[in-house]
Amino acid sequence: MKELQERIIRDGRALSETVLKVDAFLNHQVDAELTMKIGQAFADLFRSEGVTKVLTVEASGIHFALATAYALGVPFVYAKKKKAVTLSDDVFSAPVYSFTRQEHYQISIAKQYLSSQERVLIVDDFLATGAALVGLTQIVKDAGAHLVGVGAVVEKSFQEGRGLLEEAGVRVESLARIASMKPGEIQFVESSPVHS
């Protein structure tokens, strides 16, 4: 998605060779118009798959799941990271290791919101090590639902996430794929280096 790549160059910042800061427009302050276009892009990619539900993980996937679900005309569900007292014991859960926070946590979705009849599209802000998305795919599997694919807003293609998902037979669509980066330079997959 050209507009997203241009925005990453303009307002994103490679803090190191592995961490990209995009909190000016994607995951802290949020550009609402760009978010709706991202949702539309995912909807266009997966519309023919008959998606019935969009899944994500709180918190930074929620607005992308909302935009995608709205464009597809279906509900979305976000996995919770901490068990609220209102969440019953009747949940699907999976363990996840957080790349950015360097800690383990558990994600859960109430069983009543994920039946075996669903055709599920998973979306998230980043595909990095794939831990969060692999956790979600495990939940979809446990529910006996059909996973149509995964949509990532930003993929760091030099990390193992895409490979892990593809090995498991999952279709992966990312709107911006970063081949490599270092402070002051971000290189997208199949393009020449772009200086910020």
Tell me the per-residue interface mask from 147 to 186 with ligand 5GP, x by CB under 6 A, - otherwise: ---------x----x-------------------------
Does the annotation flag 168 for ligand binding? Answer: no
For the bound state, the minimum distance from the C-beta of residue 2 to ligand 5GP, rounded and expressed in Å, comes to: 21
Is the Cβ of residue 16 or residue 88 nearer to ligand 5GP in the bound state?
16
For the bound state, the minimum distance from the C-beta of residue 152 to ligand 5GP, rounded and expressed in Å, comes to: 8
Instruction: Write the single-letter amino acid at 121.
Output: L
* Cα within 13 Å of Cα(94), Cβ side: 20
Query: Does residue 22 bind ligand 5GP (CB under 6 A)?
Result: yes
Among the listed ranges 15-23, 31-39, 109-117, 165-173, the one in contact with ligand 5GP (CB under 6 A) is 15-23
Q: What is the DSSP string of the chain?
A: -HHHHHHHHHH-EE-SSS-EE-TTTTSSS--HHHHHHHHHHHHHHHGGG---EEEEETTTTHHHHHHHHHHHT--EEEEBSS--TTS-S-EEEEEEEETTTTEEEEEEEEGGG--TT-EEEEEEEEESS-HHHHHHHHHHHHHTPEEEEEEEEEEETTSSHHHHHHHTT--EEEEEEEEEEETTEEEETTS--EE-
Dihedrals phi, psi of 44, to nearest 5 degrees: -65, -40
Beta carbons of 44 and 37 less than 8 angstroms apart: no
For the bound state, the minimum distance from the C-beta of residue 58 to ligand 5GP, rounded and expressed in Å, comes to: 10
Query: Does residue 188 bind ligand 5GP (CB under 6 A)?
Result: no
Does the annotation flag 15 for ligand binding? Answer: no
For the bound state, the minimum distance from the C-beta of residue 35 to ligand 5GP, rounded and expressed in Å, comes to: 15
Show contacts with ligand 5GP in window 98-137 (CB under 6 A).
99-100, 124-133
Instruction: Give the residue ranges of the annotated binding site for 5-phospho-alpha-D-ribose 1-diphosphate.
Output: 128-132
Instruction: Give the residue ranges of the annotated binding site.
Output: 20, 27, 128-132, 156
Instruction: Give the residue ranges of the annotated binding site for xanthine.
Output: 20, 27, 156
Applying CB under 6 A, the residues found at the interface with ligand 5GP are: 19-22, 27, 60, 99-100, 124-133, 156, 161
